[in-house]
Structure formats: C-alpha cells, structure tokens
Structure 1
Amino acid sequence: MDAVTEITPYDMLGGEAVLRQLVDRFYDIMAADPRAAGIHAMHGADTTVIRQKFFEFLSGWLGGPQLFIEKYGHPRLRARHMPFAIGESERDQWLLCMFQAMAEVPMEDALRSHLEEAFTRTADFMRNQ
C-alpha cells in the first residue's frame, strides 16, 4: 500500500532556497521602506538572528522541517510578541513587507492567495493593542 504524500505549502513554494529568499526579502523591504519604519524600529540593527529564527519558524509553519520547534520548542507566537506594542498599524506594516516580498518570489496564484490569508490571520492574532 502506497502512502499518499501530501504536497505542503513549503513544497509548493520551492522548499528551503525559496523560503530563505522570501525571508531575506521580507527583512530587506522592512529595512528600506519608510512605511515600515515602525516595525523596523522594533528589530535590532543586525537582523541575522531574527532572519534565521523566522526562516526556521516558517519552515515548520508551511509544512516543511520543524526547525524552530526542534531548537526552541513550541513557537508561542503571542507570548513571544507580547513585549512589543502591536496594533493595527504594526500589523499592516508587517503585512505590507510580507506581501511585497511574496510578490517578488515566484509562486502559483492559489498558493499566494492561501498565504496572504494565513499571514493576515496570524498577523491580526499578534495584535495586543
């Protein structure tokens, strides 16, 4: 009996290399776009560590290797973001950067739509203001 292999968003995106490209572009946009100055200010000048953690989180979140959980345990997203004041403006700045990064990474329209909805729900859930 053959096992059915589920194609995950991670696979549909293109795996590790494309995910790394998406994460790097996200942080590059955040640093360069003045419309994201509010959330950029929440990050240190050196984003090397946070880029890696975000890559590891997204890997598992998208159905790929559970890199973040293996290193740090459950993501506890709201708890990890609680020290930062996140309101509608911060949510929208984050989504602006992510949607722009996604627009620059080739992907199927259905995947882009799925990810936009999932990122929007998650970003809204992070609001604490």
Structure 2
Amino acid sequence: MKSVLVLSTFLVILSVGETLMCYTCIFPSLTKRDCLKFPRMCQPTETCLLSKAVGKKGGQRLVLYEKGCAPTSLCGVCGTKTAMGIVFTYNNTCCSSDLCNQTAGVMPWLALSLWPALLLTLGLSSC
C-alpha cells in the first residue's frame, strides 16, 4: 500500500512537470516589451507562442505583438488576420521552456531558434 502511494505521488509530480509556464498578454501590444503580461500554466499539448503582426493604416505602419500558450499546430504559421479594421500579416514562433516568450531582450538560445523564421521572412516564405 505504501509503495502505491509513493508511486502515485511520483507520477503526479512527473505529470505536473510536463506542462509549460508561458507569459500571456492581456491585450496585443505595440512594442515587444509593452505587453501587460502574466505567467500562465499551459495545457500539456501547448507550447509558448510569440506572434508579430504587421499592418498599415493611412500610410502608418502598425506592429502588434502577442504572446501566450498555443497548440503546437500554430508554431511557424504565418498568414493574415483583421483587427481594428486593419489587415495584418502575422508570423508565429514558438519556444518550449518555462517563460521563454518573455522577449525582454533576446536570449542567445532564442536568437538561434529564430534563425529559420528569419530566413523564411527574408524571401523563402509566402507570407
């Protein structure tokens, strides 16, 4: 009986360790650091997301940044979306360690992980 309790406790600890803690913005922000963010525990099937969307209104370029937990199917996805009556082109990137989507300065490992996205943005992508 005691070994069952120990094993159950161990499995609970392991299952808790499988989820990520990511920053989530309450609203999209106009700068990388401007987000009103809070840490959030993601679902086991989610990863940390960073999204940048660029649009134009009256000749003015607008950039929106979002972050949060997201399904891995959204990683590396780019496309268009409409917000505030403006069509934005967005690009999603993901990371998979706790609070890795903070963007308070680019961490070396994050910069390396963004190279593929940068290369795609420079002309290899259809977005």
Query: Is TM (by shorter chain) over 0.5?
Result: no
Greater percentage in helix = 1
Greater percentage in strand = 2
TM-score (normalizing by structure 1): 0.29
* More relative contact order, 1 or 2 (CA 8 Å, 6+ apart): 1
